[in-house]
Amino acid sequence: MKEVQNLFPVPILKTKLDYPLDEIEALCQIERSKDSTGIIKSNLGGWQSGNIIYPDSPFFFLLDIQKICQEFCNDILEIDKSIILSSAWININQKFNSNQSHTHPGCILSGVYYIKTPKECGNIKFIHPAQDMMTRDWSNSISFNSYNSELWWLPSEEGRLYVFPSWIKHLVEPNMSDEERISISFNVG
């Protein structure tokens, strides 16, 4: 009998959160008005806030995200340690702005919660950890699936939360919309 065993799957949690996105967008814009320069990390253009002071911030939903991450650690990764949301920040990307390929070192999980996602605002892409070798050896694959793809994308969708291992390389495509794409990213340690 033939059997396929998945040796190194990468779990990505996907869920919809039901929060008042217009209120959260207003909070994001208030934060940007306090510091119009922002910081530059993985963002190519756009605006990125510094760390949102948590739990003493108006971003009321961060505690719920921390609980979701704790369940993900316990139930899926089988990590029996208490985790905390160690940092969170706002991303506001205008037309043509993107986030280059990066990881989040020193954390267990990272994630993104989408607040505003106009049509064609760019999706999040995850890069296979062995991309360089796959490109070298499997570049002639005809149909791609989760076993042989170097990249896998998930849609930027309002209210959508993605949580993933911090070590997986990821990027966000350029925003091709005339409207801003707004998200909140975070790390868990």
Side chain identity at residue 85, one-letter code: L
pLDDT for res 57: 82
pLDDT for res 141: 67
- Provide the residue-wise pLDDT of the chain in tens; the chain has 189 residues: 999 998 899 999 999 999 999 999 999 999 999 999 999 988 899 999 999 977 778 898 999 999 999 999 999 999 999 999 999 999 999 999 999 999 999 999 999 999 999 999 999 999 999 889 888 888 776 788 888 889 999 999 999 999 999 999 999 999 999 999 999 999 999
Burial class (CB in 10 A: 0-12, 13-18, 19+), 56: exposed
* C-alpha angle 20-185-67 in degrees, rounded to nearest 5: 70
pLDDT for res 23: 96
Task: Find where tokens 């985790």 sit.
Answer: 83
Task: Find where tokens 């003493």 sit.
Answer: 56
What is the model's pTM? 0.93
